Amino acid sequence: MGGSALVLASGSPRRLELLQQIGIEPERLLPADLDETPERSEHPRQLAKRLARDKARAAFETLKARGETGRYVLGADTVVAVGRQVVPKAEIEDEAVDNLRLLSGRTHRVFTGVCLVTPRGRERIRLVETRLRFKRLSREDIELYVASDEWRGKAGGYAVQGRAGAFVVRMVGSYTNVVGLPLYETLSLLEGEGFKVAAAGVGTVAPADRVDA
């Protein structure tokens, strides 16, 4: 496979689009079905790092068991938090409403853990933090946003690249981190481990192939 085959241990369309934005076309998507519940007293930043590592390692071990070697594996996980409180992904409307009410008029942090496993099994992990402040959201703001359905499955219950971008009063740090994959840090990890970006933008990504973990 050479030195520039990349497997993305995520089924997130946003992470795939961000990689494509910088000219990287993963060979395939290999998301892991993990329990993302925080451990007792686990800080949000530690949660993001742990889940990123677990996702990358699960995909790497699956490839290894299949005899598919020579790939870089990239895993990532994004966690939204108010203080030490993790703001969960919203799957139903009531959860989205609760999240938006919590974030309304407040500063919160977005942590993304990024883990790269090299073809030789070496792990490198980075954690990126962005601080955001939302405006005070009216009932109408929340109702219209929930009706948009953009929140579904998103960390914190919002997508900053969509309508929720208008809620942001202030942002300190990486914008792409909030979308789901901090590009500067991700590219630095890849290049630091010998990944050839110029050779990775050929072809189309294979459909997602889920890992059971």
pTM equals: 0.89
Residues 6 or more apart in contact with residue 8 via CB below 8 angstroms: 15, 16, 19, 26, 28, 29, 30, 74, 205
User: Is residue 213 very low, low, confident or very high in pLDDT (cuts 50, 70, 90)?
Assistant: very low
Provide the annotated active-site residues: 77
User: Is residue 205 very low, low, confident or very high in pLDDT (cuts 50, 70, 90)?
Assistant: very low
User: Is residue 2 very low, low, confident or very high in pLDDT (cuts 50, 70, 90)?
Assistant: very low
Per the structure, the count of domains in the chain is 1
Q: Supply the range of the domain harboring residue 130.
A: 5-212
In three-state form (DSSP H/G/I as H, E/B as E, the rest C), the secondary structure along 37-100 is CCCCCCCHHHHHHHHHHHHHHHHHHHHHHCCCCCEEEEEEEEEEEECCEEECCECCHHHHHHHH
Give pLDDT tens digits for 153-185.
Answer: 899 999 999 999 999 999 999 999 999 999 999
pLDDT at 36: 83
50: pLDDT strictly greater than 90: yes
Lowest mean pLDDT among 71-75, 87-91, 137-141, 181-185: 87-91
207: pLDDT strictly greater than 80: no
Bridge partners of residue 72, in order along the sequence: 6
CATH of the domain at 192: 3.90.950.10
- Residues of the chain with pLDDT > 70, as a percent, come to 91
Range 10-34 burial, b when 16+ CB lie within 10 A, else e: bbbebbbebbeebebebbbbbbbeb
